Chain A
């Protein structure tokens, strides 16, 4: 494993705590920081605002418990516009969360999502947003990579990370190509060429390491990056530098 720090930008608790095994694996693999988003204590595609708030308090407990090893994403359902905005402000300004997590409760093309993106620009924090193009059919409010690319083009000052390289990574990386989208590598897809081709299309400066642990094996997700036939400098960027650079956006403002 690389003898340099590694930040995993896409982690979920299971469902409240980080499994002991995940922490041990992170230590074994040299993953020095985990950026965690709770999606709440139950599986809910269109969660209530309270569901998200409870999840964020669980994330805060993890941030406090693990010190600097765990950072937090503020998870909201953007459809509850005012409440979601207040919650994001509290999470970022009071609790020190590093960005906003959006999942499958509103499409990237909807105005309520645009409002969250505008808020992220004001607060100078990144947004981690799920996207997938599924041959089996998307959830009703699950955004496609093309939708995220459109959102990123409409909000060029925002720093939006498309999770999973859009799931179907060939389509996702192609959709991201003409936009300012960043991508994370999280998820269970481990296809040969995924990282090399994504880096070739987007540049290493737009690719971030994510695992999707605890649902995905951290070691497997990391191996995609460590095995990729890319220059050392590109690997460093993906595993660490790009996230540090993103997180410094807000610190620069302060």
Chain B
């Protein structure tokens, strides 16, 4: 079983990305033998008002069976975000809510993010904080967006301990700066062989989830991280699907 907690759909504005629509993502999932994906609308990254992109993606996913679960986007600095979250939850059945602070122009220690986290805790919806979407060296010259700061995430964890919190697309050094009780996905983790083992030490302390970053990244590259020779079967299955099942209880049949 493989559950990808970091997948995206829609057009990327800076260059062509193959298979970037819902059918394209399904093709990538088939190719990589990924059973289920938690999918967020990529166009919401560039739209301060996430409601429209959420609705478009949720409608598209609704006709494609249960392998792709809807992950809503939210921007807590934009008016009406509470209603955006309510619609995503009650009308579209979102499994989680994803934010991308630096693209939407706020910091991870922003009070608005605390307020969003409190709302999500009340609704029992996990919050995914996206650190970046591109290697900083590869940004378009007039569109350089810094990564989200981990200090703010730790503070958020402390202020809203009830919310399920996952950090997405962080680097190894950034993950090391996170409190142990913040879960992470692997979409942004690149490093020498064996880095995943180091993230999993000591056993059980850090919850690490499979995230590929598709459609922006090659999903097989994310899966390759699970194959390292000295990773135990239990460790690999926890990362591949075990933690996802635990942290995203609303995830449907594809989550097994």
Taking Cβ atoms with an 8 Å cutoff, the residues of A that contact B are: 14, 19, 21-22, 24-25, 28, 132, 134-136, 167-168, 170, 188-194, 196-197, 213-220, 222-224, 226-229
Separation of A24 and B197 alpha carbons in the complex (Å)? 15
CB<8 Å pairs between A and B, sample of 23: A21-B193, A135-B139, A136-B137, A167-B137, A170-B15, A188-B135, A188-B190, A190-B217, A191-B216, A192-B19, A192-B215, A192-B218, A193-B16, A194-B218, A196-B18, A216-B190, A217-B228, A220-B221, A223-B218, A223-B220, A223-B224, A224-B220, A226-B220
Taking Cβ atoms with an 8 Å cutoff, the residues of B that contact A are: 15-19, 28, 31-32, 135-141, 144, 190-195, 213-221, 223-225, 227-230
On chain B, the residues within 8 Å of A191 by CB distance are 17, 138, 216-218
Among residues of B, the one whose C-beta sits closest to the C-beta of A217 is B193
Separation of A192 and B195 alpha carbons in the complex (Å)? 22
Among residues of A, the one whose C-beta sits closest to the C-beta of B217 is A190
With contact pairs A168-B138, A217-B195 given, residues A192 and B31 touching in the complex (Cβ less than 8 Å): no
With contact pairs A28-B229, A135-B140, A217-B195 given, residues A189 and B135 touching in the complex (Cβ less than 8 Å): yes
Taking the closest CB of chain B, its distance from the CB of A202, in whole angstroms, is: 17
B229→A24 contact, CB < 8 A: yes
Among residues of B, the one whose C-beta sits closest to the C-beta of A196 is B18
On chain A, the residues within 8 Å of B223 by CB distance are 223
Separation of A222 and B32 alpha carbons in the complex (Å)? 14
B192→A192 contact, CB < 8 A: no
B229→A220 contact, CB < 8 A: no
Q: From the candidates A189, A192, A218, A227, name the one contacting B193 in the complex (CB within 8 A).
A: A218
Separation of A194 and B16 alpha carbons in the complex (Å)? 10
On chain A, the residues within 8 Å of B216 by CB distance are 191-192
B229→A21 contact, CB < 8 A: yes
A193→B18 contact, CB < 8 A: yes
On chain A, the residues within 8 Å of B138 by CB distance are 135, 167-168, 189, 191
With contact pairs A24-B229, A192-B217, A223-B223 given, residues A19 and B193 touching in the complex (Cβ less than 8 Å): yes
Q: From the candidates B136, B140, B220, B229, name the one contacting A136 in the complex (CB within 8 A).
A: B136
On chain A, the residues within 8 Å of B221 by CB distance are 190, 220, 223-224, 227
Taking the closest CB of chain A, its distance from the CB of B148, in whole angstroms, is: 17
Q: From the candidates B19, B214, B218, B228, name the one contacting A219 in the complex (CB within 8 A).
A: B228
A135→B224 contact, CB < 8 A: no
Among residues of A, the one whose C-beta sits closest to the C-beta of B194 is A21
Separation of A213 and B193 alpha carbons in the complex (Å)? 8
B190→A14 contact, CB < 8 A: no
On chain B, the residues within 8 Å of A14 by CB distance are 192
Among residues of A, the one whose C-beta sits closest to the C-beta of B191 is A217
Told that A190-B218, A191-B138 touch, could you supply 13 new A-B pairs with CB distance under 8 A? A19-B193, A21-B193, A21-B229, A25-B193, A134-B137, A135-B144, A136-B137, A168-B137, A170-B15, A191-B17, A213-B192, A216-B191, A223-B223
Separation of A28 and B229 alpha carbons in the complex (Å)? 8
On chain A, the residues within 8 Å of B28 by CB distance are 192
Taking the closest CB of chain A, its distance from the CB of B32, in whole angstroms, is: 7
Among residues of A, the one whose C-beta sits closest to the C-beta of B137 is A134
The CB with the most chain A CB atoms within 10 A, among B19, B137, B218, B220, is that of B218
The CB with the most chain B CB atoms within 10 A, among A14, A22, A25, is that of A25
On chain A, the residues within 8 Å of B190 by CB distance are 188, 190, 216-217, 220
The CB with the most chain B CB atoms within 10 A, among A192, A216, A222, is that of A192
The CB with the most chain A CB atoms within 10 A, among B137, B194, B195, is that of B137
Separation of A135 and B137 alpha carbons in the complex (Å)? 5
Q: From the candidates A21, A136, A192, name the one contacting B18 in the complex (CB within 8 A).
A: A192
Separation of A219 and B186 alpha carbons in the complex (Å)? 14
Q: From the candidates B139, B214, B229, name the one contacting A192 in the complex (CB within 8 A).
A: B214
